[in-house]
Chain A
Amino acid sequence: MPATTPSLFKRITPQLLILAVVIGLNFLVFPDFFDVSFRNGRLFGNLVDVFNRGAPVALLCIGMTLVIATKGIDLSVGAVMAIAGATAASLVTDGYGWGTALLGALATGALCGFWNGFLVAVLRIQPIVATLVLMVAGRGIAQLITEGTILTFNNEGLIRLGAGTFMGIPTPIVIWLALGTLATIGVRRTALGMLIESIGVNEASSRLAGINSRVLLICVYLASGLCAALAGVIVAADIKGADANNAGLWLELDAILAVVIGGNSLLGGRFSIVASLIGALIIQSVNSVILLSGMPPEFNLVIKALLILAILVIQSPRVAHLIYMLRASGPERLPERQRPSVQEPKEDAL
């Protein structure tokens, strides 16, 4: 689909609305939320923090969006983050430069992604099962690289990737914005996006139309691995060390959640990276509300769980059908606007 501006805007309207509401909540519980200051050549402020802290999930959800668009899922991204962080850390502690470390980490991520893609596309193992293997073994591999310790480093170049600034903006923000833009352009200015969607909707038809679904599937998992590697490096750089046990722990779930909040169907098909990125921001804003309101951080998970449930219920085909039936029977009683994430019931016109 050509992502013309009006249709893109229409697509992400509900996500923007939710984001606005959550940001508004932030403002209510913490009136200084919007204060942004510029000190020591760096932007400071709670809003900046939301963008900065949300970077890992934002990066992950770029790749995850593509994977989910093909009707797949990548459970291994958290583990891949740990592996990539460990690779980068061990390379710089071995005396290599930060560039080499970054490249090495990206290469590991690509390798992990290729492995997942190979299992899914060539061996035809269900994605959830295929990526489970690396999810289980990944942290072990990461520990193998760090040799069981939290590998700390003080390579300035690498640390700058996580804690530094670029023109006053924290580097992670720059990185995820840049990659998000690049990925969006990459899939929408080429035919990649449409071909990926086509595979996700109907792989049999797509193959008969001459699409090389095998290669595309591998590429998608490869992309997810690369995004995870980048996120892993940022997290490691931020804490100046690679923690094989905790780096990226449960972030695969946050990334999937971001994609789902972004209104992308888990059943594959039409996707929007921009919407997923907003989904990532929504998650981070929710975290921020809980933090700023002084509510104990313990409630974070409970609220997140309720949020997932609410969104899932809205997205459920059964509920969508119910709404559809209600609208059909009593058009006046119901509001005009239907949430666009709701799929229309698949009633083919025979």
Chain B
Amino acid sequence: MIRSTHLPLMVTLATFVLAFALCGWQYPSMLSTRVVANLLTDNAFLGIVAVGMTFVILSGGIDLSVGSVIAFTGVFLAVILRDTSIHPLAAFVLVLLITTMFGAAMGAVIHFLEMPPFIVTLAGMFLARGAAYVLSTDSVPITHEFYDTLQDIYWKAPGGGRFRLIGGIMLLVFICGALVAHRTRFGQNVYAVGGGGPTARLMGVPLARTTVGIYAISGGLAGLAGIIFSLYTSAGYSLATVGVELDAIAAVVIGGTLLSGGYGFVAGTFFGILIMGLIQTYIVFDGTLSSWWTKIVIGALLFSFILLQKGLTWATITRKRTATGSAQQS
């Protein structure tokens, strides 16, 4: 059953299928499991952070701090594994706690001080990036056998593609994210807040708990993405992942989630990530195109989806107007 709210998701899906088909038509070797596996591996951290961003944007907010939080997590892990002898798993738990608390604190400031999320998370972005600098300004390599163990986990598909652990974790996060968003009371509350705070409050939605929870999830997932990123690069660097928040926002919007909140699907974000990854892969395959085209194409896609959403909203309003317009004969 196709519903009007599903339309942006359908467009995303169609865009992805079409783009993939075009790529495959031009470069048949792109249709290999290797490319697909790399698509998942290379975008694992971005995908995870985009799930958190989906929650934030669904609630009508924005989180600019995630890129910095990823960098902080990487540096924190690298430094703590270099300077102490604690097990990486313990370090993971610790860093996840820190980043979740950090997100929750931002959510609390946003809710209780009634400040715009944009500016609060901007401060959070400076703070996390600054904390990363304070820990270390150099790139710190991570050399721990546990990392090697984790990095060696993969499933080799026919055709030579290696589906690595981090890609799998991303898929798991997407599945959990979708479950939370669509099948829990908390998820319902997130949509409710995005649909309208005052009305949601009247309907008994606990605004404080929901808002704090949303930013805690985003912070926690940024922490997880940081762990994944450190597994991906085997290093922590405070200048890494600059601008990832923009990529995440773009993926969410291209995935069909309305930037003003209330409408969208976690699954859409997944395809948003894949589309963005595909653009990069295509440019690599082409070889003559320069990397900056990625940004331009993503910007253009972003613009088209914003326009599409604007058009849909506008169409809904017009339809309503016509409906009430016919009410005059009474």
Direct chain A–B contact by Cβ atoms under 8 Å:
yes
Chain A interface (Cβ within 8 Å of chain B)?
73, 123-126, 128-130, 132-141, 143-144, 147-148, 244, 249, 253, 256, 260, 266, 296-306, 308-309, 312-313, 316-319
A298 touches B130 (CB 8 A): yes
Across-interface contacts of B137 in A (CB, < 8 A): 296, 298
Name the CB-closest residue of B to A321: B114
Mostly, the A contact residues are: helix
Across-interface contacts of B133 in A (CB, < 8 A): 296-302
A133 to B109, CA, bound (A): 28
User: Given that A125-B306, A136-B246, A298-B134 are contacting pairs, would A144 and B296 also be in contact in the complex, using a CB cutoff of 8 Å?
Assistant: yes
A301 touches B127 (CB 8 A): yes
B118 touches A128 (CB 8 A): yes
Q: Counting CB contacts under 8 A, is B299 at the interface?
A: yes
Q: Counting CB contacts under 8 A, is B275 at the interface?
A: no
Across-interface contacts of B293 in A (CB, < 8 A): 140, 144
A296 to B120, CA, bound (A): 25
Smallest CB separation, A108 vs chain B (Å): 15
Name the CB-closest residue of B to A317: B114
Across-interface contacts of A136 in B (CB, < 8 A): 246, 250, 295, 298-299, 302
Interface of chain B residues 269 through 310 with chain A (CB within 8 A)? 290-296, 298-300, 302-303, 306-307, 310
Q: Counting CB contacts under 8 A, is B249 at the interface?
A: yes
A139 to B294, CA, bound (A): 10
A302 touches B298 (CB 8 A): no
| Further 14 A-B residue pairs, CB within 8 A, beyond A312-B113, A312-B115 | A126-B259, A128-B62, A132-B246, A133-B303, A136-B246, A140-B294, A147-B290, A266-B116, A298-B130, A299-B134, A300-B133, A302-B127, A305-B124, A308-B123
B119 touches A133 (CB 8 A): no
A312 touches B302 (CB 8 A): no
Encode contact with A along B101-126: 1 for CB under 8 Å, 0 otherwise.
Answer: 00000000100111110111011111
Smallest CB separation, A282 vs chain B (Å): 15
B310 touches A125 (CB 8 A): yes
B119 touches A312 (CB 8 A): yes
Option from B126, B127, B292, B306 in Cβ contact (under 8 Å) with A143:
B292
Q: Counting CB contacts under 8 A, is B162 at the interface?
A: no
A304 to B62, CA, bound (A): 20
Across-interface contacts of A304 in B (CB, < 8 A): 126, 130
Option from B122, B250, B302, B306 in Cβ contact (under 8 Å) with A253:
B122
Across-interface contacts of B246 in A (CB, < 8 A): 132, 135-136
Q: Counting CB contacts under 8 A, is B260 at the interface?
A: yes
A153 to B62, CA, bound (A): 40
A144 to B297, CA, bound (A): 12
Smallest CB separation, B101 vs chain A (Å): 16
Mostly, the B contact residues are: helix
A298 to B239, CA, bound (A): 11
A296 to B132, CA, bound (A): 13
Smallest CB separation, B109 vs chain A (Å): 8
B123 touches A312 (CB 8 A): yes
Smallest CB separation, A229 vs chain B (Å): 19
11 contacts between A and B (CB under 8 A): A137-B295, A137-B303, A140-B298, A141-B292, A144-B292, A253-B125, A298-B130, A308-B126, A309-B109, A312-B120, A316-B114
Name the CB-closest residue of B to A146: B292
A306 to B130, CA, bound (A): 10
Q: Counting CB contacts under 8 A, is B131 at the interface?
A: yes
Across-interface contacts of A309 in B (CB, < 8 A): 109, 123, 127
Smallest CB separation, A133 vs chain B (Å): 5
B299 touches A300 (CB 8 A): no
Across-interface contacts of B164 in A (CB, < 8 A): none
Smallest CB separation, B307 vs chain A (Å): 8
A249 to B296, CA, bound (A): 17
Across-interface contacts of A143 in B (CB, < 8 A): 290-292, 295
User: Given that A147-B290, A148-B292, A304-B126 are contacting pairs, would A266 and B113 also be in contact in the complex, using a CB cutoff of 8 Å?
Assistant: no
Across-interface contacts of A303 in B (CB, < 8 A): 130
Smallest CB separation, B263 vs chain A (Å): 14
User: Given that A132-B302, A266-B119, A299-B134 are contacting pairs, would A139 and B292 also be in contact in the complex, using a CB cutoff of 8 Å?
Assistant: yes
* Shortest 10 CB-CB contacts between residues of A and residues of B: A137-B299, A140-B295, A301-B130, A302-B130, A143-B292, A298-B133, A305-B126, A305-B127, A140-B296, A308-B123
Across-interface contacts of A318 in B (CB, < 8 A): 112-114
B290 touches A148 (CB 8 A): yes
B126 touches A301 (CB 8 A): yes
Name the CB-closest residue of A to B134: A298
Which of A123, A132, A141, A244 has the most chain B CB atoms inside 10 A of its CB?
Answer: A132
Across-interface contacts of B112 in A (CB, < 8 A): 318
User: Given that A312-B115, A318-B112 are contacting pairs, would A305 and B123 also be in contact in the complex, using a CB cutoff of 8 Å?
Assistant: yes
Option from B126, B129, B131, B310 in Cβ contact (under 8 Å) with A123:
B310
Name the CB-closest residue of A to B304: A133
Interface of chain B residues 121 through 178 with chain A (CB within 8 A)? 122-127, 129-131, 133-134, 137
A137 to B279, CA, bound (A): 14
Which of B129, B242, B307 has the most chain A CB atoms inside 10 A of its CB?
Answer: B129
